[in-house]
Amino acid sequence: MRAWIFLVLLAAALAWMLWAQARMQHRVLWFLVRRAGRSPRRGATLTHLVQGGAFLLAVVALALAMVADVHWQAPWLRIPIGVLVLAAYVPFGATLGRTRLRRLRRTVEQRMNDLGAPPDVAVAIARAGRPWSLVASVVMLATVLVVTWHHLRA
């Protein structure tokens, strides 16, 4: 069993998620704030739609990766699809998550307020996005497992 491959890829995926999340967060928050306008309900609904759509695409991509490997005997396709999910969806899904480093990083609500969002809209978007951040973390674990599952079986 080569569990070290899983652990190394998981650490790399976590580092990538944190780095890319910080770089992507401004654009995602700006998009959500501008589209929400002054309506907290519209902001929360839009957040759920955007994050849910991205989650659905990630799950379909992971399912395609497994089908390609198991049924089409194309394991060479499983890894690039998994890496694509790790590179694109995981940081995107985690952009609205809570930060543990409160003194070092500003909260999502503060960042949205800086972008011109009313406080109630910022709170609604942040509250709607927090569960999706957890979902992105679970997808990250599943994706690392999908990418390394041949090595874990051996």
pLDDT tens digits for range 1-18: 577 888 999 999 999 988
**Contact criterion met (CB below 8 Å) for 154 and 2:** yes
Q: CA nearest 120: which of 38, 46, 49, 25?
A: 38
Question: CA 108, 13, 127: angle at the middle one, nearest 5?
Answer: 25
Cβ atoms < 10 Å from Cβ of 152? 12
pLDDT of residue 43: 97
**Contact criterion met (CB below 8 Å) for 142 and 60:** no
Instruction: Tell me the mean pLDDT in the region 96-109.
Output: 71
Domain coordinates in residue numbering, the chain: 16-32+39-153
Amino acid at 121: V
Report the C-alpha gap between 86 and 92 in whole angstroms: 10
pTM above threshold 0.75:
yes
Out of 25-34, 89-98, 124-133, 145-154, pick the least confident. Answer: 145-154
* 125-139 residue pLDDT tens: 999 999 999 999 999
Q: State residue 115 phi and psi, 5-degree precision.
A: -85, 0
Report the C-alpha gap between 35 and 64 in whole angstroms: 32
Distance of CA 15 to the CA centre of its chain: 13
84: helix, strand or coil: helix
pLDDT band at 39 (very low <50, low <70, confident <90, very high): very high
Q: Residue holding tokens 């990418």?
A: 147
Q: CA nearest 75: which of 141, 148, 153, 11?
A: 148
pLDDT of residue 3: 79
Query: Which residues contact residue 89 at a Cβ distance below 8 angstroms, ignoring those fewer than 6 apart?
Result: 54, 55, 57, 58, 61, 136, 139
- Sign of CA pseudo-dihedral 95, 100, 104, 110: positive
